[in-house]
Amino acid sequence: MKLFEYETKNILRKYGIPTPKGGLATNRSEAEEVATKLKPPFVVKAQVLVAGRGKAGGILFANSVEEAEKTAEKLLNMQIKSIPVKSVWIEEKLQIKKELYFGITTDRFNQSYVAIASEFGGIEIEEIAAKTPEKVVMFYINPQKGLRSFHTRQIARTMGYAGCQILELGKILERFYAASMDYDVELIEMNPLVETIDGKFVAADARIILDDSALFRHPEYKKRLLEDESELTSQELEALKSDLAYVKLDGNIGVIGNGAGLVMATLDTIQHYGGKPANFLDVGGGAPAEKIATALKIVLSDPNVDTLFINILGGITRCDEVARGILEAKEEVGVTKPMVIRLVGTNEEEGKTILTKAGIHMLESMEEAAQRAVEISKHGGK
């Protein structure tokens, strides 16, 4: 889950990390109220959950309260990468001496968090790494020991600082790491982290991406994800509400399975036979009929789906419950698209009986079922 810039800065301030003074506005009158409490000049930033908003015209400057009002109104009436701007963050413009980069993310290959730092900030870190890789410092963090003060001072030194500035920058990086652990981040970055003309360090821009699997520990953000602005599709939102793991893909064969490993194997098998999966959907273990029905509704709500492949290996999940869920969804949604079903495991015979009576036939081999789904998606079963 992506957080807005203002949400990220609110978190950083809780940890004692300096950020520019600012406030949030959703209309022109609120913009005036915020700006009158600040010192000009101002930076007015569109709050959207997409990268590259600066290049898209989402960050503007104003020299007076009146100009800040007009600028805020302009941004609130525009879209950035097809996303409407619903709020703006107005803050005091910093007098910048130098722009830096600092971020923390996960390195799945090394099974570790990694701190990434550069004395060049303000542009994408991938661009910095591609053009001047020697200017990017990567420090792998021992998960048992964490990022300690001597580590952060070492990083500050590699970024070109000495003396008291090493201590100040080191403290900011150490607090930044604490925030990243407390909020279960997949990515957290300050870009730019600026050195001001008086030698201080301030997070001029920042962002956080939370690990969706940890949202139960952050209910305030999960609530916003479900009820307010979100980068998720309607299918992803409905899946999240129903405790289903769903990822939209670009194919035309809808996929439902139980267990992430089985669903991944299903996607691979479909592609092996020349098909294109439309989604990843894992109903989890022990899914009742209602959950199965919800999963079908979510997958079938995608207009790109023309064939459905249901692959269930019943362990905790009972095949008879899956069969009832399929019939429930067929009755409620009026399923007209062809379904290929592979149903084996716990209460398998009961499940097959329920579906056979309804005129729905099953296959026992995942490979055979995947091949059949691909044939139907390409030729309508002919």
Enumerate the active-site residues. 101, 189
Max CA distance (Å), the chain: 80
Phi, psi values for residue 41, rounded to 5°: -75, 165
Query: What single letter denotes the amino acid at residue 326?
Result: I
Extract the tokens encoding 223.
């609530």
- Pairing mode, if any, of strands 59-62 and 79-80? unpaired
Measure the CA–CA gap between 122 and 136, rounded to whole angstroms. Answer: 14
- Give the H or E element holding residue 313: strand 307-314
Phi, psi values for residue 359, rounded to 5°: 80, 20
- Pairing mode, if any, of strands 206-210 and 185-196? antiparallel
Q: Report yes or no: 53 and 80 within 8 Å, Cβ to Cβ.
A: yes
Measure the CA–CA gap between 44 and 70, rounded to whole angstroms. Answer: 10
Phi, psi values for residue 297, rounded to 5°: -60, -40
Nearest residue to 183 via CA among 24, 12, 19, 22: 12
- Give the H or E element holding residue 309: strand 307-314
3-class secondary structure for 249-291? CCCCEEEEECCHHHHHHHHHHHHHCCCCECEEEECCCCCCHHH
Collapsed DSSP state (helix, strand, coil) of residue 358? coil
